Amino acid sequence: MKSLKILKTFILLSTVLLAHSYVNAQQASPGLTLPAGFKASVVADKLGKARHIAFNSKGDLFVKLDRSKNGGIVMLKSNGNSFEQTPAFGNYSGTGIAIHDGYLYASSNKEVFRYKLNDQQQVSDPSKPETVVTGLIDRGQHNSKSIAFDNDDNLYVNIGAYSNSCQQKDRQKGSMGREGCPILDSAGGIWQFKADKLNQTYGDGTRYATGLRNVVGLDWNKQTNTLFVMQHGRDQLHDLFPDLYTEQQSAELPAECMYELKKDDNAGWPYLYYDQLQKKKIVAPEYGGDGKKEADNKYIDPAAAFPGHMAPNALLFYTGSQFPEKYKNGAFIAFHGSWNRSPQQEGYFVAFVPFKDGKPAGDWEIFAKGFAGTDKVVSTNEAQHRPCGLAQGPDGSLYVSDDVKGTIYKISYQK
């Protein structure tokens, strides 16, 4: 009788273990459409709201989870061809995660923390992070603090504007813009801090670039030695100014812009937006624009422009050698997918822009699509997966995170 009980326990355990290893094994054909020669697999699933992702040098993948009740960072330990999920840590929401100089950095919506990595490149004391930056503004809207590093020990943090277009009444039909938009003092730009100094706040940092409504995807370009960012353009031109913009114009405009930033650059939000059809910087209707009036040329031009509202949530310059030559040093962009386009939403894919000598060298193209699980998304919550984070694996594969179901995709090229 006792041996039967042991046998039963054994069978039960084996089943659980088998099921567990199945989950961790790579699942083929996740329904993505890719260029010829590429294949995709799912390496992890059901993690939660998986935002940005970062690899350590051993090939383990750190995933930043937003709004998780069981810890905000999870490490997927590499077992060669598959990953093993380890217990989550870090009791805070947020988006940003990166590895720099022996530390794992992660952001909440107000702070940036860091964890010392041991010789296995793992976090040895997950309960005691150091606070690198604190006291950043979080008023709900555009509160994610994405992070990136340069080669000189500087940390760049996006602080998104807590507003759509700095109207006197946010998102109120016809409400005009606030004069000398005060939001820009503490948000609507990229701030620079020291990577190795603790407890910094606004006074310790520099407003590196301003006039950026909300940046979620950003990456340091090692070829140009400059920061590139993807801005989420303003919403609702037609809803707010129906006499100036048709519903169709409002769906296409304004562009989602890629900017190359130099210190003290101003991209012009909220005073202007970039119209990718006219290829011009146009004065925002809140500040006296009519859809045609051009903005002052002191504001910088985008390096690349994309259709409106597709929500670029990650930017990655590809430095690997696994992919064909055309991808080398080019930009991958994870478009989270739109909500304020009518009658049909767009995005929900990973795009690619070829680069030559540090500049875009050709039109953007869709690299990976099919995340939404349907060709036609009318309402945003119909999308089954939404691309949110990007990382380059040690072997040159591209990894994509999804913050609907918490799926991690691996995309590889076979010669």
Give 193-240 as a DSSP string: EETT-SSB-GGGSEEEEE--S-EEEEEEETTTTEEEEEE-PPP-HHHH
Alpha carbon distance 78, 110 (integer Å): 31
Q: How far is the CB of 307 from other proteins (least distance, A)?
A: 17
Distance, CA of 291 to CA of 120 (rounded, Å): 56
236 lines the binding site for other proteins (CB under 8 A): yes
| 279 lies in the binding site for other proteins (CB under 8 A) | no
Q: Which residue in the set 202, 220, 299, 339 belongs to the binding site for other proteins (CB under 8 A)?
A: 339
Please say whether the beta carbons of 387 and 400 come within 8 A.
yes
Task: Kindly tell me which of 78 and 93 has the beta carbon lying closer to other proteins.
Answer: 93
- Closest approach of Cβ 214 to other proteins, in Å? 11
Give the residue with the Cβ less far from other proteins, 240 or 411. 240
Tell which one of 342, 361, 362, 395 touches other proteins (CB under 8 A). 342
Return the number of the residue (281 or 386) whose C-beta is nearest other proteins: 386
Tokens of 262: 């130099």
Point out which residues pair with 74 in neighbouring strands.
Answer: 63
Residue 340 touches other proteins, criterion: CB under 8 A = yes
**Residue closest to 410 by CA, chosen among 61, 21, 66, 3:** 61
Q: Closest separation between CB of residue 182 and other proteins, Å?
A: 17
Confirm if 178 and 271 have CB atoms less than 8 A apart. Answer: no
Least spacing, CB of residue 232 vs other proteins, in Å:
11
Using CB under 8 A as the binding rule, whether residue 198 contacts other proteins is answered as: no
141 lines the binding site for other proteins (CB under 8 A): yes
Number of residues that bind other proteins (CB under 8 A): 24
* 335 φ/ψ angles, rounded to the nearest 5 degrees: -95, 115
Helix (H, G, I), strand (E, B) or coil at 391: strand
In the chain, what's the furthest Cα-to-Cα distance?
Answer: 87
Residues 60-79 that bind other proteins (CB under 8 A): 66-67
> Which one of the spans 136-144, 181-189, 203-211, 358-366 is the region binding other proteins (CB under 8 A)?
136-144
3-class DSSP state for residue 347?
Answer: coil
Tokens (6 digits) for 375: 């060709």
Residue list 36-55, contact with other proteins (CB under 8 A): 49
By C-beta, is 37 or 242 nearer to other proteins? 242
Segment near other proteins (CB under 8 A); pick from 261-269, 317-325, 334-342, 361-369: 334-342
* Region binding other proteins by CB under 8 A among candidate stretches 72-80, 126-134, 284-292, 337-345: 337-345
Q: Which of residues 363-382 bind other proteins (CB under 8 A)?
A: 378-382
Select 171 or 293, whichever has its Cβ closest to other proteins: 171
Does the CA dihedral 121-122-127-133 come out positive or negative? positive
Tell me which of 80, 87, 140, 180 binds other proteins, using CB under 8 A. Answer: 140
Q: Is 252 in the site for other proteins (CB under 8 A)?
A: no
Q: Is 196 in the site for other proteins (CB under 8 A)?
A: no
Secondary element (H or E) of residue 159:
strand 154-159
- For other proteins, which residue of 173, 262, 292, 356 counts as binding (CB under 8 A)? 173
Instruction: Count CB neighbours of 20 within 10 A.
Output: 12
**Are the CB atoms for 192 and 206 separated by under 8 Å?**
yes
Among 192, 200, 197, smallest CA distance to 227 is for 192
Considering the complex, state which of residue 112 and residue 237 has its C-beta at the smaller distance from other proteins. 237
User: Quick check: 404 binds other proteins (CB under 8 A)?
Assistant: yes
Q: How many CB atoms sit inside 10 A of residue 196's CB?
A: 14
**Which of 239, 249, 291, 319 is in the footprint of other proteins by CB under 8 A?**
239
Nearest to 309 by CA among 342, 278, 272, 270: 342
Closest approach, Cβ 286 to other proteins, in A, equals 14
- Positions that interact with other proteins (CB under 8 A): 49, 66-67, 140-143, 169-173, 235-236, 239, 339-340, 342, 378-382, 404
